[in-house]
Every structure is written in structure tokens, then in C-alpha cells.
Amino acid sequence: MYYDQWHPDASMDLIRSKGITHVILSFMLSHHLNNETFDPLWTDDEPGHKWHVSALKSLKVNCPDVQVSLAVGGWNDDPEIGWRKTIESDASLSLFVQNLHRVLYGDFPIFENHQFDGVDIDWEYPGGNTVDYKSNPQAADRLLCETDGYVKLLQAIHADLSPDGKHLSIAVPGRPSDMLVFEDSAKAKTIFDSVDFVNLMTYDLYNRRDNITAHHSSVEGTLATANAYLEKGLLSGKINLGFALYAKWAHVSGICTQLGGLGCDTFALEDSQGADTLQSGSMTFEMKNTLDVPQSFSVPDGGRCGPGTGAKCSPGFCCSSKGWCGDTPEHCGYGRCNPPYSGSDSCQGPDLWKSWKAALADPIDDGHAGGYTYFDPTDALFWTWDPIKYVQLKIDHIVKDKCLGGAMAWSFGEENASLPDHISALSTGIQNIDLTGCKRLTPSTNPSSISQVDQPTGVVVNVNSGSEPLQPSPSKESPPDGGIVNLVVTLTADFTPPPVVTIVTWITQVG
């Protein structure tokens, strides 16, 4: 499961009780690994440093059977000082791999002999559509260098890690417009051959680069993404289907009369430079986001405020969606400010938390596409998210029927340990899949040509090269050698996983 520094209080009991086998710590920024000198004391508090080491040690002590990977990149990773510098020469690529090796193998005293079990590369997205696609557009030859460099990067990391059984995974886009590096079939094959598993970001299918409302993680959209990668030659057993532990919202412009708010125009969600206009965002499934506003408030402790703390900021200061008092646009701007917990008249925009509770109370169920939506006419807010029943449907009719390797989710702390509805649904669904008769889909197998009778009844993961399909397991209790049922951050069935497994959960949000 993805475990990020913005939600650092993951429950070790929940990890153990839900059968999670892999946790991915997110994110180390790629530019850290481009430096000639690497901070041996890990004193830098920037994401990718001290927190990741502390989390690694805690997981290794409290959950010794869980494999822990490090995610490098993320949506906010600056590609100009990061990935593009990494691939600009053979020397820079070699330096990156050397530094990554030192980190993964715990080559610093602060690690206290603990090591990561693998790495997850999250370059969003080689070949174009990076976070700076408007502010720093790349010429065609540089975009070609990105796709070539991405392939070389994965090959180099694979060559470095595979002898010791450490695994390499990648997070890949769910939107066809972002699958640029996979348009060349030869490059796609080399990429797929270089990695142990692939995490499909089958969420944020609707994001701030759109101007008409749509589902962000529907069953229909998720299936289309899975089919797209199968058609590109990715072995089904290497695929982990992505799940989001959050809803998305957007500010609708003009009149919206469509049921549930689908297909309505929005205000510009990005500006001319590709920056967030704060007219859209996300809401996690944490219980605090549905709590009633208290009758009285406390004074912020260390600047903390909002639901769950009961603290209200002083006049002139706003309580941000992240729960901090301040007076910047990230605190007071549209969609970033929590009015009941902010100083008088300091907030801009609506009470998102009030609107979210209304959405949960009266959602529109789109049974055709498979997803929930809601339109708040008072504040002109559109909402889109997955209810439990569509999580279950995705497991039954995509993970199972397509014989995928497993499932992943972003991110662990976005649902409470005391009421992990979506995590529980993922865990139960994956662990109940029967391995018997599972057919591996290879590039030569047309997924759409497989009849319902031939559909697999279980899921296994190929932990080898992925070039050969695994044979069906005779029973759930006796999985094939090297096979494992995976789930959120990799959930496993009721057997002990082999030492070299793969699977992940995660991914970043665009807007």
C-alpha cells in the first residue's frame, strides 16, 4: 500500500490484520539522487529523507513479513532538475543508480542495518505531459530523449537490483493521453520486461486538465485502462489495478442540469502555465472529513486546526484543507479553506466539508459507468468517487476476469484505521479470489476473445521475468511456485508469501 509523508500515522495493526504484504513509502524526489555528494546523516527534512528512514525502520520492526519499497518521483517532482538531469548522459544515469543503490541497501548509519526491498519509479510522465508541460514545453527531440532515457533508466536499475532479488516497479498513467512512452511497441516491451510489476493509476482519470466533469475512477474507465495496457503487450500477471481512497471535486461554471453533474462545464482548473487554479481538488475518506462542527473550539496547538482537532484559527487566519492555520492562498483560497475552523471572514469559497457530507448522504449511482457522483447546486460543486460496491465489482470483473496480478491503492492514511471500509473491501475481495484455473494473458492473447467460460477464477503474480505465463494453481491453499494473490499495497491470500514477491499500491493525484 502506498504510505505517504502527508499521512504519516499508518496503523501497524491494520497492516498486519489486512494481510498487506508490500508498503511503498512515497516520495523521494528524483533530484536528490543526482547529487555528487549525498547527505550521510539524512538531516534534510525535505520529502524523501528522514521520514522515509524512520518509517522503514518502524515497518521492519513491527511488520517483519512486509516488504517495503521506496517510491521516487511523484506528481510534484520537478523534472528539469530531476529526471531530465538523470538521463542527460551515461555518467549522470550511472550516478543516479549508484545513489539509489546506496539508499535501498541502507548504506548510511541512520538506517541501522535496515534495507528497502525494492523501488517504485513514478516519473509522471516521460515523453510529455509532465507537471511543467505548459511552463516549460519540450521540443520533439527532447521528448524523444525522455522516452529513450526512461527505458535506459529502468534497464539500469533492473540490472543493479535483480541479482539480489530486490524488485522494481513503475507507476503508469491511467489516461490514454499520458501513455506516451508506450506508443512505441518496442520500447513498451523493453519497459515491461525490465520491471517486476506495473501499478496502473486507474484513478484521476478526470483531473484538472479537463474542463467537463466526468468520473475519476469508474469501473468503465478502469477497465478501459487495463485493456489498453494488455493490448500494448503487458502481461496480465504484472498488472496491479489502482484504487483511490479519496473523492475528487470541481467547481462547475454556468447552469448544470445533468443528473449527478456529469458532462457539465467547469471553471478553468489550470492556468496558462499549467498551475492549479484551486478550483478543483480531492477529499480523502478519513472520518474527520465527515465530523459535525463542534459547538465550541479550542486554541490551535502548534498551528494545527480543523476536524479532528477541534481547534479554530484566530481572526485573519484560515484553516487549510491540510489542517494548518495560515494566511496564504493555500490556506484561504477557494477550495483550500475550512470556514468553520477559520478566523472570521477570512475564507474564500465554499465549505467543502459540508458539501461532501451532502454528497455522501444523497449520491447519484451511475450504474452504466460504475461510479458515484453528486452535484451541489448551492455551491456549484461536482463530486466523483468509488463506493464499496464498485470496489468489489472491479475486483470480480477486472482483477479476477482479466487475471491481473493484484491491486494497489493510494494511499494508506486516507482512510481511518478504525473504519477502513475500502481497504477491507479490497482485502476481502483479493483474498477470496480462487487461483484455480487462472489463465495468464500474454501479448499474443486477445483479452476480448476470451469467453466467459475461459475466464480465470483466480489471480497469480509472475515474480519471474514475466516472459512466460504461470500455470494454474491446483487450489487456493496450494499456489503455484512463485505465485501470490495480492492486494492493496499488496494483500495476500491466506498463505505465506514467497520471499521474492511483487506488488504495490499508490500513485499521485493530478489536481
The full 3-state SS of 435-469, as one line of letters, equals CECCCCCCCCCCHHHCCCCCCCCCCCCCCCCCCCC
The CATH number that domain 2-246+385-449 falls under is 3.20.20.80
pLDDT, residue 133, reads 84
User: Could you give the maximum distance between any two Cα atoms of the chain, in Å?
Assistant: 67
pLDDT, residue 36, reads 85
Give the C-alpha separation, 273 to 82, whole Å.
Answer: 20
Q: Which residue has the cell 465554499?
A: 350
Q: Which residue has the cell 473504519?
A: 419
| Residues 197, 504 contacting (CB under 8 angstroms) | yes
pLDDT, residue 49, reads 66
pLDDT, residue 376, reads 98
pLDDT, residue 278, reads 92
pLDDT, residue 453, reads 27
**What is the Cα 5 distance to its own chain's centre?**
13
H/E run at residue 353: helix 352-361
**What is the Cα 21 distance to its own chain's centre?**
16
Strands (E), 350-440: 364-366, 371-376, 381-385, 406-410
Nearby residues of 104 by Cβ (< 8 Å), 6 or more positions away? 70, 115, 116, 118, 119, 161, 166
- Which DSSP state fits 397? I
Predicted structure pTM score: 0.85
Nearby residues of 198 by Cβ (< 8 Å), 6 or more positions away? 169, 170, 172, 192, 229, 234, 238, 239, 240
Domain layout of the chain by residue ranges: 2-246+385-449
Tell me the mean pLDDT per 10 residues along the chain, length 511.
85 84 91 83 61 91 94 92 96 97 93 96 93 86 93 98 97 96 97 98 96 98 98 96 98 95 97 93 94 95 94 96 94 94 90 97 98 98 98 95 93 86 92 70 37 28 28 29 35 29 35 46
Helix 140-161, helix 90-104: angle, nearest 10: 40
Instruction: Tally helices (H) and strands (E) across the chain.
Output: 11, 15
User: What φ, ψ does residue 146 adopt, rounded to 5°?
Assistant: -65, -45
Give the C-alpha separation, 76 to 130, whole Å.
Answer: 9
Give the C-alpha separation, 144 to 139, whole Å.
Answer: 9
Nearby residues of 26 by Cβ (< 8 Å), 6 or more positions away? 2, 3, 4, 5, 71, 74, 120, 122, 411, 506, 508
CB atoms inside a 10 Å sphere around CB 234: 25
Give the C-alpha separation, 236 to 230, whole Å.
Answer: 7
Give the C-alpha separation, 390 to 372, whole Å.
Answer: 9
DSSP-H helix ranges across 199-295: 219-231
Give the C-alpha separation, 116 to 28, whole Å.
Answer: 13
